[in-house]
Structure 1
Amino acid sequence: MADNQPDSALQQFTQGVPLCDEEALFHIDSQGRWFYRGEPLPDKFCRLFATILHLKSEGYFLMTPVETVRVEVAEFPFIINDYEETQDGHFTLTSSIGTQFQLAGRDAFVVDEAAISVSLGRGLSAKLGRACYYRFIEQYMLNPEGDVK
């Protein structure tokens, strides 16, 4: 029986595709800004490339049926600048480059000393930007007196 999942189909097309260059042609800095060969990349191209970004055991890659390109990521590939909780408890996250992600609920957020992060699929993850970080803590982790819940 054939697997009709989009990720599975892409994996079939990209399996064995040669690495374009050993050197990373793209870089994502700690603020979620994308660069191509050291030059800033416009957000519309970042959003396009984000759709083919994957994390494998060897690192981050842009993967197409024709080539695979190495991407250097400083910390997280996405920084979340805004989030909205829906009536049913799901979340819509918006990244610094304008991409949107859906989460099933608050349990998807991982809180540790360094960051609040989420898994996004394809091995990718994102962290909440500073304003979202403090907003999340205030909304979900503190009681009205300002103490930890």
Structure 2
Amino acid sequence: MAEPLFQQLQQLQREFRGHPPVHKWNPDLCGDMEMVIRRDGRWIHEGTEIQRQPLVNLFASILKREGDEYFLVTPVEKMRIRVEDAPFIATQVAKGAKDGRECLLFTTNTGDVVSLDRNSDWQLKPFGDPPQPVPYLEVRDGLQARVSREVFYQLVDWAEEGGQGESAGKLWLRSDGKEFLLGSY
């Protein structure tokens, strides 16, 4: 099943620049695919890790979220898959300029580059054992990336301590002229 889908995805990738418009595709559900995106970012199909990064990237390009469920979608097929946490992990961060303002740019484990801007969905959610608040940011269309530990430490280095009142005891990031809560200390 994965190889014909890979060929179909290659065709879609040639037709569309960037990501295919999965938000416009609403085929009927074909069923459940034995695929899971693990908490550590590994994609597992029928119990075996997908080792080919181009294949993972193609699958990621047709990933769609509806409520709390995830699907791989083409114009004619829709297969439900499982996601243990977030489908992506932010593995790198860099500072850049956007419209003359400093902006943080995140790169995911599937190669997406996401700007943390004033319209970004940035949340702190519990992760790990014991659960600790960890940042998540939206990559596209409700699909989130959890910030990796290495990236988190870089962000802590760039963060500013809050001043008085409600900001006291908190770390803040500034990106695109907006402050984003990184955590409390």
Q: Same fold (TM over 0.5)?
A: yes
Distance 1:106 1:142 in 2: 23
Contact 2:121 2:137 in 1 (8 A): yes
Instruction: Indicate the residue corresponding to 1:74 in structure 2.
Output: 84
RMSD of aligned Cα (Å): 2.7
Distance 1:97 1:11 in 2: 19
Matched residues, percent identical?
23
**Which TM-score applies when normalising by structure 2?**
0.63
Structure 1 residue ranges without an equivalent (≥5): 1-5
Is the alpha carbon distance of 1:20 and 1:106 closer, same or farther for their aligned partners in structure 2, counting shifts above 3 Å? closer
Equivalent residue runs for 1:85-100 within 5 Å: 85-87=95-97, 88-100=101-113
Q: CA deviation at 1:92?
A: 2.5
Q: CA deviation at 1:79?
A: 0.8
Instruction: Indicate the residue corresponding to 2:140 in structure 1.
Output: 121
Distance 2:69 2:108 in 1: 21
Equivalent residue runs for 1:1-149 within 5 Å: 10-12=22-24, 14-15=25-26, 17-21=27-31, 23-41=32-50, 42-57=52-67, 59-87=69-97, 88-104=101-117, 109-112=122-125, 113-142=132-161, 148-149=170-171
Q: CA deviation at 1:106?
A: 9.9
Aligned length: 137
Q: CA deviation at 1:80?
A: 0.9
SS of residue matched to 1:115: strand
Distance 2:62 2:115 in 1: 17
**Which TM-score applies when normalising by structure 1?**
0.76
Contact 2:93 2:104 in 1 (8 A): yes
Moved over 2 A (4+): 9-12, 87-92, 96-114
Bigger proportion of residues as strand: 2
